[in-house]
Structure 1
Amino acid sequence: MEWLGLQFIGDNTADGQLLMTSSHNPYLVVLAFLVACAACLATLHMYERACNAEKPAAKTVWRWIGASSLAGGIWAMHFICMLAFESPLNVHYDLGITIGSLFIALLSAAIAMLALLQPPVTRRRLVLAALVFGLGICTMHYVGMSAMHSSHLQQYDPVLFALSLLIAVAASYATLMLARSLRGTSGLAYQFFKYFISLAAGLAILSVHFIGMWAMHTYTPPEGAFQVTIENNHWQLALTVALITLLLIGSSISPALVDKKLQLKEHDLRRVNALLSQLDQARASLQQVAHYDPLTNLINRRGFNQLFAEKLIERASNNSMLAVMFLDIDHFKRINDSLGHDAGDELLKVIAAQIKSATRNHEDVVARFGGDEFCILFNLNSREEARNMAQRIMLKMKEPIELAGRNMVMTTSIGISVFPDDGNTIDELLKHADLALYQSKDAGRNSLHFFSSNLKARASLELQIEEELRMAMRGDHGLFLHYQPIFDLKTGLVAKLEALVRWQHPEHGLLGPERFIHIAEANGLIAELDNWVLRKACQDLATLTALGWTDISVAVNCSALNLVRVELADEVESALRSSGLSASRLELEVTENALMGNINNTSQLLRQIRALGVLLSIDDFGTGYSSLAYLKRLPLNTLKIDRSFIQDIPNSSQDMEIVQAIIVMAHTLHLQVVTEGVETHQQFAFLNQYNCDFIQGYLLSRPVPFEELHALLQQLNKNTLASLDFSTFQLSSQ
């Protein structure tokens, strides 16, 4: 036998018969090899499509197309190789047997594809599929060879026959294993691996064919007559079979490639849709975050303004009314300070639900603007409807709320403005509702007020005062200090001076602190104003010191809002350093309510100030919490009794007992006592009798400007309190 033109088996005889020699056309063999490789490549494409198919029907279609491509390619390769077989004898083929071999190849290929695609792909299943597929290839080969009819005799070498079967099974198993591992690769590695498998599988199938041909021995006919070699030209048929097979294989690869591109585009489209869906969800989440309060799930200020604008246009076109209601929870800060912010958040959730339940329908818009401030927007036909809703909310708020093991009853202050009576724009209506809310707070809280024109005038006046106050502080003109002496009852001499700020307004004349302090607090000016007073008082006392008043100290009031600023200690130290005063000659006065606003932070700040050597006094004692607990915790030096306890002495025995108890308590805690508002001889005598340390009031001296202070101090210290003629003193002090 000849392999690609070489003799495989030399001349031999068997039973007197001559062993025939044969050869193969090398060009047709190469053509057969290319057909086999193309069939394997097409099968891998079909396998990929079947693996990626999402529908069972599509998976089945690709599986059968792959099996048909593989079977057709192997059969065409075998047929072309048989046409490449060149023998000196006249050979013809049985068409029925040849077609039958094709069905054998198709069946074995279908089984192999099924084994690869049916999960799970176990080693045992692969061995079984390789055995079936290998047997199918060998069966197709030998059935196809049996279709070859001639006058020669055929015999097969059993060893080579078994070898062809073994190679077929081993090659099938290796190919199936490589095809299965192909699913784990991608990119250039995937393409390289796929072409490598195609070439290796094509070579293995071709090897099985030629080993089978090698196993076949042909002998001369029995009569021993030697026939002349017949030249058979099968080029035309071989090329026709190859062309048809390659066209069929190409026609199967083309839709596979198209399907792959379509599937990739479909996957891309799904990814785009998924991204769009995620984008919509993100947009909805951002919309929720941007327009809703995360704690109460109510609309926030931004969402409220958007709905407000829509409703305002609607009500303006209908010539109907619209109400804006501001709500502020009374003394809510105490909840955060006493029970913590978590408890405060839980309380806000309950309050939000109560407010929502008191509204009329879904058209009413309830929003949380921040903190404990809520706003309601609703349609109405008369102002009385707004009043009724506000009263319903106030009544609902009075229902007990269980929080942290306590039953609480909260109240609210409400301000209302109405469109179109109180304004035509969002800003106007919100500002006017806010002004009405502040009027409710000033009226003692737990009340409701509608906006009125006098509120606007008051707001305009306060705005003007705010601007002018800012200019007065920056330009250092208009503001000045009055000083009221504080007498030591033991020595009868002036021991301290209380610094009291005044403002000489260009239009309204001399203004006391009650006219502008609350404006400074509401507009963030109080820290600057307190610092101005502190520095001015230290400078004035330094001037008095230069005049010889070295034993007098000065008391400066500190606002509650300023007391929470950590910068206060540095500002006090800076004022002392710039004036050159000793820290012990400065005393800061703070109110009870300021101390209890945030007792932990306040206590820490006061200890920092006390560490500088500055004295600390609690002002207006008795009007706030009056708790021994915080008196023990805070580094205080002095306690000042409010004037409200002195006014009715000696007519009120109850006030006398209260003052006496306060003095005893303060002395027990090693605190000195100052009583302010002393205006009568009887009050002075009572305080002197019960060992009050210091007194302050119009009986002894009114507050005077700094320019008059030196002369006043000289006059006051000429006489002690024991020998003082009060009638003479009062005339001179005026």
Structure 2
Amino acid sequence: MVMLHGTYNIGIVLLSFLIATLSSFSALNMIGRVWRSRGRSRWGWIASGAIVMGSGIWSMHFVGMLAFHLNLPITFDAEPTALSMLASIFASFIAFYITQREQIRLGRIAIGGLVMGAGISAMHYIGMAAVSIPGVTMNYDPFYWTLSVLVAIAVSYAALFIMNRFRSGLQGLFLSKMVAAVLMGLAVCGMHYTGMASVTFWCSVPSIADAAEDNNIYLLGIVTLSIATLLLVSWGAMFIDRAFLERMAYKDQLTGLPNRYELSRRFESFLSQSSRGAILFIDIDQFKSINDTLGHDIGDLLVLDASRRFEALANKQLMVFRIGGDEFLLIAEGADQTQAQRLAQRLLSRINQPFYIEGNELFVSCSIGIALYPEHGSDRSSLMRSADAAMYEAKAAGKNRSELFNPDIQERLLRRMQLENDLRKAMEYGGQFIVHYQPKWDTRLGRPIGFEALVRWNHPELGIVAPSEFIPIAEETGMIVGLSRFVLRQACRDCIGWERSGLGMYTVSVNTSVRLFDSQILFEMVKECLQESRLPSDRLELEITESIVIHDMNEVIRQLNQLREIGVKASMDDFGAGYSSLGSLDLIPIDTVKIDRLFISQSHIPARRAIIRTIITLAQQLNLEIVAEGVEEEEQVELLTEAGCFIIQGYYFGRPMSAPQIVAYLKELGCAELEVAAGADYDIDIGGKWSI
């Protein structure tokens, strides 16, 4: 027996190390996707990474075998060769599964390194069993055999440790993967060449096969081509996945427009490269109503069609973003004030064209706020805040229009923010709200028959804040529910207090909000206040507006009927100001119609007088009581009484007054039946917090 001594081709040895490293890097890159995946996709990425890693280890082994020359013909048995690949892939899968958890400990990494190292060793020695050399036998040195296994385990542990140690750090992620890949390549190569050092070849009849070199070169080409294909496929998958993730992260899924994350990136570019420009903040005005009435699917299609109309204007200087819901933002680079306002008009014209969606012809508008750079802000936050404030100004001014930001808007915005904060405190601690009452005068009796309760806010620093300022804030924030409870309770107490003091029996009316009907607690709230004050239910009237009714007519009618069953009355406030009442007035369970003050103030116009007479006639035919609001002149009183409206509310017969002032007012009119104790306080403070 003669011991054979082999030689190594250094170029192929380096190629084997490169293959092992690239395969490891590609596999670890794919495994990194596991941390962001859930469910089946997580298993898919683990399996993909294991296939790439196992195949790379296997390819490295056979390339390494091709680097070893004995000058004898070498062949490989198919079954052990295939089994060696499966062993490598299976070990890689188990190791990745063990170590790719959200919470990983050193014990798991140690087990993963053990499994990976054992798999590399198994692959190597199974692959060696596949080697077939005529007339040659192989013996293994126990020391080097053991050393090769330990090298595989130790370096596999180091690679997995580094990868898991730095996986949460974004800046060090690429470097940690590269270091881990190099260590994994060293583990595979170290194990392979240490294992090759443990084997000796003994030949009984040495011979040299001239064809061996050619066969080896051919096999090298096949293995190299296979691993190159595998790497390209894995890198292609990562590229596609990364492109998909980027689209998911920076593109709006419904419209395909850049989203607010992309807006942050583009804004920085805009601010650094442009000396001037404009920001247009767009909000679709009727979007919520369409969502509520036609459904969210129609709403989504509306947003999609609107986005296409906006996107049609986009170019290199004009970028369109969807930043949420029905809100869009446009960045117009280089645009001045005139150009920005012209662009806003083009946007308004486009959105005003009818939308044809699922058999529905929809007409909507939008409100646009314009902020100029650098006049209205030098950074993203201030510019967007300015454009947003201008957009809300456009909505407040009537919608379907654009507004250019100005310092007055900022002042109003700051005041609104202050009022909202102070309103929350006032609701929490109480003591700042008072209820005033405006008389309802019956011209036939020559005296008041009831009062409308009106809340006032006595701010400790700002004084009396107008209801037109704080009521909309309370509506938007939901605080109107607690505020309405306070007004209702105080009004019931004061009304029954006047009766008990001998000032007469009156009705009291309280305004309601759509939020009260949405809260589903209006009935219980009214019942509680009536029981607490012992006011007869027929002496309480709730005032609703047309906007409340059209919000959800069926639900409003249901709750009004529930209240009428216990005797509470209802009135339609500001009748004629809306657009739905005439067609459904007979369906709404109300007792009174209040003519909108706009018609009264313009009663000198013949057309307005005709409308007033028509409303009165309609109410009489429906057996409804009629009240006129905002009456300030004697001529208006004469017109109304002549037309058949005898109950009048306005400054002509009395301004809103506090509860003690109402007492003095009634005494002066001679309404008191009994003497009222001097200085009696009828403004009852309920105290406490305004919770619902």
TM-score (norm 1): 0.57
1:706 pairs with 2:659: yes
CA distance in 1, matches of 2:540, 2:581: 25
The equivalent residue for 2:357 is 403
1:676 pairs with 2:629: yes
Q: 1:664 Cα deviation (Å)?
A: 2.3
The equivalent residue for 1:620 is 574
CA distance in 2, matches of 1:414, 1:332: 14
Of 270, 280, 287, 1:325 maps to 280
The equivalent residue for 1:125 is none
What are the Cα deviations for residues 475-509 of structure 1, in whole angstroms up to 9, with x where unaligned?
32332111011134554443221011222334544
Q: 1:714 Cα deviation (Å)?
A: 3.7
Q: Is residue 453–residue 508 contact of structure 2 (8 Å, CA) maintained in 1?
A: yes
Of 331, 347, 354, 1:393 maps to 347
1:295 pairs with 2:254: yes
Q: 1:624 Cα deviation (Å)?
A: 0.7
- Structure 1 unaligned residues grouped into runs of 5+: 1-42, 55-65, 74-242, 246-258, 720-734
The equivalent residue for 1:384 is 338
Q: 1:678 Cα deviation (Å)?
A: 2.4
Q: Is residue 494–residue 716 contact of structure 1 (8 Å, CA) maintained in 2?
A: no
The AA in structure 1 aligned to 2:488 is L
Aligned residues: percent identity? 36
Of 261, 266, 281, 1:307 maps to 266
Alpha-carbon spacing, 1:679–1:599, altered in 2? closer, same or farther (3 Å): same
Alpha-carbon spacing, 1:716–1:428, altered in 2? closer, same or farther (3 Å): same
CA distance in 2, matches of 1:521, 1:583: 26
**What is the SS of the residue equivalent to 1:516?**
helix
**What is the SS of the residue equivalent to 2:574?**
strand
CA distance in 2, matches of 1:586, 1:270: 81
CA distance in 1, matches of 2:646, 2:580: 19
What are the Cα deviations for residues 149-170 of structure 1, in whole angstroms up to 9, with x where unaligned?
xxxxxxxxxxxxxxxxxxxxxx
Q: Is residue 504–residue 511 contact of structure 1 (8 Å, CA) maintained in 2?
A: yes
Q: 1:621 Cα deviation (Å)?
A: 0.4
Q: Is residue 337–residue 598 contact of structure 1 (8 Å, CA) maintained in 2?
A: no
The AA in structure 2 aligned to 1:369 is I
Q: Is residue 546–residue 581 contact of structure 2 (8 Å, CA) maintained in 1?
A: no
CA distance in 1, matches of 2:249, 2:497: 57
CA distance in 2, matches of 1:586, 1:290: 56
Q: Is residue 304–residue 365 contact of structure 1 (8 Å, CA) maintained in 2?
A: no
Q: Is residue 416–residue 449 contact of structure 1 (8 Å, CA) maintained in 2?
A: yes
Alpha-carbon spacing, 1:626–1:526, altered in 2? closer, same or farther (3 Å): same
The equivalent residue for 1:335 is 290
The AA in structure 1 aligned to 2:474 is A
The equivalent residue for 1:691 is 644
Higher relative contact order by CA 8 Å / sep ≥ 6: 1 or 2? 2
The AA in structure 2 aligned to 1:661 is T
Alpha-carbon spacing, 1:285–1:470, altered in 2? closer, same or farther (3 Å): same
CA distance in 2, matches of 1:534, 1:639: 20
Of 554, 572, 578, 2:508 maps to 554
Q: 1:280 Cα deviation (Å)?
A: 6.7
The equivalent residue for 2:100 is none
What are the Cα deviations for residues 557-603 of structure 1, in whole angstroms up to 9, with x where unaligned?
12344443334444333433443433333222122123223434444
Q: Is residue 414–residue 447 contact of structure 1 (8 Å, CA) maintained in 2?
A: yes
The AA in structure 2 aligned to 1:458 is R
Q: 1:619 Cα deviation (Å)?
A: 0.7
1:355 pairs with 2:355: no
Alpha-carbon spacing, 1:399–1:653, altered in 2? closer, same or farther (3 Å): closer
Q: Is residue 473–residue 532 contact of structure 1 (8 Å, CA) maintained in 2?
A: no
Of 467, 471, 480, 1:526 maps to 480
The equivalent residue for 2:68 is none
CA distance in 2, matches of 1:454, 1:666: 44
The equivalent residue for 1:483 is 437
Deviates more, 1:701-710 or 1:510-519: 510-519
The equivalent residue for 1:434 is 388
Q: Is residue 367–residue 391 contact of structure 2 (8 Å, CA) maintained in 1?
A: yes
Q: Is residue 503–residue 671 contact of structure 2 (8 Å, CA) maintained in 1?
A: no
- Structure 2 unaligned residues grouped into runs of 5+: 1-74, 87-128, 136-202, 206-218, 673-692
Q: How does 1:61-76 map to 2 (within 5 A)?
A: none
CA distance in 1, matches of 2:385, 2:606: 48
Alpha-carbon spacing, 1:46–1:478, altered in 2? closer, same or farther (3 Å): closer
Q: How does 1:65-214 map to 2 (within 5 A)?
A: none
CA distance in 2, matches of 1:549, 1:285: 76
CA distance in 1, matches of 2:383, 2:360: 38
The equivalent residue for 2:618 is 665
The equivalent residue for 1:645 is 599
Of 586, 596, 599, 2:550 maps to 596
CA distance in 2, matches of 1:365, 1:534: 51
Q: 1:337 Cα deviation (Å)?
A: 4.4
The equivalent residue for 1:202 is none
What are the Cα deviations for residues 417-455 of structure 1, in whole angstroms up to 9, with x where unaligned?
122221123221111111111222233322222211222
Alpha-carbon spacing, 1:363–1:474, altered in 2? closer, same or farther (3 Å): same
Q: Is residue 615–residue 636 contact of structure 1 (8 Å, CA) maintained in 2?
A: yes
What are the Cα deviations for residues 192-221 of structure 1, in whole angstroms up to 9, with x where unaligned?
xxxxxxxxxxxxxxxxxxxxxxxxxxxxxx
Alpha-carbon spacing, 1:365–1:562, altered in 2? closer, same or farther (3 Å): farther
Number of aligned residues = 481
What are the Cα deviations for residues 309-329 of structure 1, in whole angstroms up to 9, with x where unaligned?
4433444xxxx1232110122
What are the Cα deviations for residues 114-159 of structure 1, in whole angstroms up to 9, with x where unaligned?
xxxxxxxxxxxxxxxxxxxxxxxxxxxxxxxxxxxxxxxxxxxxxx
What are the Cα deviations for residues 324-372 of structure 1, in whole angstroms up to 9, with x where unaligned?
110122333343345443333222211111111123x145331223332
The AA in structure 2 aligned to 1:410 is V
The AA in structure 2 aligned to 1:592 is E
Alpha-carbon spacing, 1:605–1:348, altered in 2? closer, same or farther (3 Å): farther
Q: Is residue 455–residue 467 contact of structure 2 (8 Å, CA) maintained in 1?
A: yes
**What is the SS of the residue equivalent to 2:312?**
helix
Q: 1:622 Cα deviation (Å)?
A: 0.5
Q: Is residue 503–residue 667 contact of structure 2 (8 Å, CA) maintained in 1?
A: no
**What is the SS of the residue equivalent to 2:586?**
helix
CA distance in 2, matches of 1:605, 1:434: 37
CA distance in 2, matches of 1:286, 1:537: 59
CA distance in 2, matches of 1:495, 1:285: 71
The equivalent residue for 1:564 is 518
Q: Is residue 282–residue 391 contact of structure 2 (8 Å, CA) maintained in 1?
A: yes
CA distance in 2, matches of 1:45, 1:464: 83
CA distance in 2, matches of 1:471, 1:273: 62
**What is the SS of the residue equivalent to 1:633?**
coil
